[in-house]
Chain A
Amino acid sequence: MSAGPATAAGPVAAPLRPGRTWTAAYDIRLALPLGAFFLVFFLAPLALLVLVSFYADPAMTRFGLDQYARFLLDPFSLRVLGATLWLGVEVTALTLLLGLPLALLLTWAPGRLRGLLTLIVLLPLLTSVVVRTFAWIVILGRQGIVNAALLGLGLTDAPLKLLYTEGGLVLALAQVQLPLMVLPLVTALSRIDPNLADASAALGAGAWRTFLRVTLPLCLPGIVAGCLLTFAAAITAFITQSLIGGGQMLFMPMYLYQQASSLNNWPFAAAIAIVFLVAVLACVALLNLAGRLSGGRARA
């Protein structure tokens, strides 16, 4: 930014009011409608959710910490929470492993090819979640492509059970969430000065070393952003979890939905929602912190 507006644009373009420049031209009051909307339809419901979670009984007659005690002292509930968070970790790791090379390829590709590749990356993000998930049922089902190929090659005698397994679920979720990982990575990678890689090579570092010591640390903000988005999306992916995971695997979103909708136990559903929310926010904060710490070290 150049000095002041007066020196930058001359006296003619002097700000309309002293001390205010065009860079902050629009009135903050323009945010009032959306602010009010969020207050009524976003913050108030969340506050209500917290309140309801403190009711001790489904009929909502007296207050108490019973619902939280019920969740936190119940091995079943804790297992559901643990399985959900672990699912997020697995999906995030797989998307990072696959997404980083793709993001690198995107930054190397020349203009036209890059546009085409970007559209392929965007395609899953734009198609309906039900459609994407449905595609995986076709692929992983007993009569699906994978089984047909394995049987055709004589690698198995009977169709394998791929649908309704954790591996299948992780794979399907990884495909669904890949764009969320690749896009921030591309942004971060394209901000890196290409001269740095050249300098690293000129100083004798090989391709792997340059990648590990220069590129990777510099795109850490993108990695953190991508991991945040993928993790949050994977653990809340209600549809994919229920269709590919099937009835045997229970994760937090379905647990919440069952309690609220089928069992009509609003206080317990609210408590599940709050525990889930807090867990998500804690993971997000943790990742952010890790990113800042390692980011700081990379710069130092």
Chain B
Amino acid sequence: MRTSLRRDVDWFSFHGAVLLLAGLCLVLLAAPTAIVVVVSFTSGFSLRFPPPGYGLRWYAALAEAEQLRAAAWNSLVVAGWTTLLSVVLGTAAALAIARSRRLSARLLDSLFLSPLVLPALAFGLAALMLFSLAGIPVSPLTLVLGHTVVCVPYVVRTTVAALSQMDPVLLESSTSLGASRLYTFRRVTLPLIRPGILAGGFIAFMASFDNVPVSLFLRDAATDMLPIRMWQDLEGRLDVTVAAASSVLILVTVLLAAVMERAAGLSRRMAA
């Protein structure tokens, strides 16, 4: 009797504690995003929550915010080229190192992933020094080059993961049926690892679009990038237009994530 009661108390206290903390954690994760969306519909002038009334005035203001629009366009273009370069270079590198047991492959693997742990701001400064030493003025091109260094690790990681989950027997049977290596690559390997490449490309795109530390050093004065523009707007004055811009970004992100979830099983891949 006594021991069984103690076991019940033990079981309920443990599961209760886990549920309580996990619930708190979920609220903490989701609430800020939800609050930004709600505040962006305010009819007032301040970031008061709850808003005094609701309206679309800040979205109308957003339509006239030339600077934000130009910055968003720049970020989009840079992120697009960065993703393209990252996917091409990263996929090739992942193919080379994924199933190899060579020391060189393992060393390359850690090299390609190392920008993930290094402070990006230090890399941004370093890259600026290199370009100025080489006499290359900062431009959208230097932005793409710098972004690719910090974004390519995501493609390498997800593609290597997809390759190592692939059953080698499939490749062997393709060859044994007479397919050439190139044909096998196109018809067997590529379709199997496509979700991994897609997921990596998506994360690389988001990381580039949102990058501040590298952009701070590698952009020229004429190239305004969206996260930097928003950051500077927020440092100066708390403008509700930023809330509207944020909500648009959140909406686009959630839509893209949903599409990627269908196409590539994003949540599984990022948890891997």
Contact A277 B22 (CB under 8 A): no
Size class of the contact patch on chain B: 35 or more
Residue from B48, B96, B119 in contact with A273 in the complex, judged by beta carbons closer than 8 Å: B119
| Contact between B39 and A138, CB atoms less than 8 A apart | yes
Mask: chain A, 23-58; 1 = CB below 8 Å from B; 0 = not: 111111111011101100110111011001000000
Q: Are A136 and B32 in contact (CB under 8 A)?
A: yes
Residue B217 CB within 8 A of the other chain:
yes
Output the nearest chain B residue to A231 by Cβ-Cβ distance.
B117
Answer whether residue B243 sits at the interface, using C-beta atoms and an 8 A cutoff.
Answer: yes
Taking CB atoms, residues of chain A closer than 8 Å to B49 are 138-139, 143-145, 148
Q: Which residue of A lies closest to B256 (CB)?
A: A126
Chain A residues positioned under 8 Å from B171 (CB to CB): 22, 25
Residues of B within 8 A of A22 (CB): 168, 171-172, 175
Question: Of the candidates A101, A131, A207, which one forms a contact with B11 in the assembled complex, judged by CB atoms under 8 Å apart?
Answer: A207
Nearest-neighbour CB distance to chain A for B234, whole angstroms, equals 6
Residues of A within 8 A of B139 (CB): none
The answer to whether B122 touches A256, judged by C-beta atoms less than 8 angstroms apart, is yes
Are A101's CB and B126's CB within 8 A? no
CB distance from A40 to the nearest CB of B (A): 8
> Whole-angstrom distance between the alpha carbons of A127 and B169 in the complex?
39
Asked whether B77 is an interface residue with its Cβ less than 8 Å from the other chain, the reply is no
A41 B149 Cβ-Cβ under 8 A: yes
Interchain CB contact under 8 A, A23 and B28 = no
From 127 to 167 in chain A, residues with beta carbon under 8 angstroms from any chain B beta carbon are: 127-139, 141, 143-145, 148
The interface residues of chain A, by DSSP majority, are classed as helix
Query: Which of B25, B89, B116, B210 is most buried by chain A, counting CB atoms within 10 A of its CB?
Result: B25
A218 at the interface (CB under 8 A from B): no
A61 within 8 A of B: no
Asked if B227 contacts A41 (CB within 8 A), the reply is no
Partner pick for B33 among A123, A145, A183, A276, CB 8 A cutoff: A123
Whether the Cβ atoms of B238 and A9 lie closer than 8 Å is no
Q: Given A102-B22, A175-B29, A253-B121, is A9 in contact with B172 using a C-beta cutoff of 8 Å? A: yes
- Complex CA distance for A135 and B249, rounded to whole angstroms: 13
Contact B125 A270 (CB under 8 A): yes
Q: Could you tell me the distance between the alpha carbons of A193 and B137 in the complex, rounded to whole angstroms? A: 56
What's the nearest-Cβ distance from chain B to residue A12, in Å?
5
Tell me whether A13 and B175 are in contact (CB under 8 A): yes
B222 at the interface (CB under 8 A from A): no
Interface presence of B112 (CB below 8 A): yes
From B47, B100, B234, B257, give the contact of A119 (CB < 8 A): B257
- Chain B residues 221 to 261 lying within 8 A of chain A, measured CB to CB, are 227, 230-231, 234-235, 238, 242-243, 246, 249-250, 253-254, 257, 261
With A31-B108, A128-B227, A276-B122 in contact, is A122–B266 under 8 Å at CB? yes
Q: Say yes or no for A99: interface residue by CB 8 A criterion.
A: yes
CB pair B108 A49 closer than 8 Å: no
Separation of A143 and B22 alpha carbons in the complex (Å): 28
The chain A residue sitting closest to B121, CB to CB, is A253
Give the interface size bracket for A toward B: 35 or more
Tell whether, in the assembled complex, residue A238 and residue B89 are in contact, meaning their CB atoms are under 8 Å apart.
no
Contact of B95 with A by CB under 8 A: yes
Is A183 a contact partner of B92 (Cβ separation < 8 A)?
Answer: no
Most buried by B among A41, A100, A133, A145: A41
- Contact among A16, A252, A280 for B118, CB-based, below 8 A: A280
Beyond A31-B93, A120-B26, A207-B15, whether A261 also contacts B119 by CB under 8 A is: no
The answer to whether the Cβ of A242 comes within 8 Å of any Cβ in the partner chain is yes
Q: Which residues of B contact A148 (CB under 8 A)?
A: 48-50
- Contacts A120-B30, A124-B33 known; A138 to B129 CB distance under 8 Å? no
| With A52-B129, A129-B227, A266-B129 as contacts: A28 and B33 at CB distance below 8 Å | no
A127 and B33 alpha carbons, distance in the complex (Å): 8
From 98 to 135 in chain B, residues with beta carbon under 8 angstroms from any chain A beta carbon are: 98-102, 104-105, 108, 111-112, 115-123, 125-130, 133
Q: Are A126 and B257 in contact (CB under 8 A)?
A: yes
Q: How far is the CA of A128 from the CA of B245 in the complex (A)?
A: 11
Pick the residue among B50, B133, B242 that contacts A134 (CB under 8 A): B242
Complex contacts, A129 vs chain B, CB 8 Å: 210, 212, 227
User: Does B213 sit within 8 A of A, measured CB to CB?
Assistant: yes
User: How distant is B150 from chain A, measured CB to nearest CB, in Å?
Assistant: 9
Interface: B270 (CB within 8 A)? yes
Which of B14, B117, B213 lies in contact with A208, CB distance below 8 A? Answer: B14
Interface centre among B15, B36, B101, B120 (most CB of A within 10 A): B36
Asked if A85 CB lies within 8 Å of chain B CBs, one says: no
- Whether, in the assembled complex, B165 has its beta carbon less than 8 Å from a beta carbon of chain A, the answer is no
Also in contact, A277 and B97, with CB within 8 A (given A34-B89, A270-B125):
no
Complex Cα–Cα for A178 and B49 (A)? 24
15 pairs from A and B in contact (CB 8 Å cutoff): A12-B176, A23-B99, A35-B111, A38-B112, A48-B133, A52-B129, A101-B20, A118-B267, A128-B253, A130-B210, A134-B242, A138-B35, A206-B7, A235-B119, A270-B129
- Pairs A-B, 4 closest by C-beta atoms: A135-B32, A45-B126, A207-B14, A31-B96
